[in-house]
Structure 1
Amino acid sequence: MRQHLGILLTAIAVLILLVPHTLIYSFIALIVYIIGIIIILIPQKERRVEERLPVVLQPKPTPEELKKRPTQPPEL
């Protein structure tokens, strides 16, 4: 997000320089350009990436395991 702001400020500085040339516009463009460059070059804080535990999938039952299961549900 900061880099987008820095690029926007740099573009604004270039547009200010395209205005009919006066000394005050040059200083304003220079200041806006320097601020944009500083914003671009300031390192951003690295975001912490949370480590997720791998999901352990239970293996599918084999046909023999399916045959060993009771056919009727347990009584309550």
Structure 2
Amino acid sequence: MLKVTISLEEDILQFVDQYAQGNRSAYINTLLAEHRRQILAAEMIAALKQDAEDPEYQVEIAAWDSVAGDGINARE
């Protein structure tokens, strides 16, 4: 884990202290990890929507779907 120095506005620091239960670092890490998870989820949803709206991608997926169900077992 790395140590960094950040500047917070006084009212933000008071808010952190109110909810941090004595461990500012853990609280801020938890908040940022959740925020990162939400951003990554939103980015994934946007990418999936973009794929769903891309006709070339849909043609390629359809071609792969027809191959995937051809009955060939790669383990044999």
Q: Scaled by the length of structure 1, what TM-score is found?
A: 0.31
The structure whose residues are more often helix, as a share, is 2
Q: Choose 1 or 2 for highest CA Rg.
A: 1
TM-score when normalising by structure 2: 0.31
Q: Which has the higher contact order (CA 8 A, sep 6+)?
A: 1
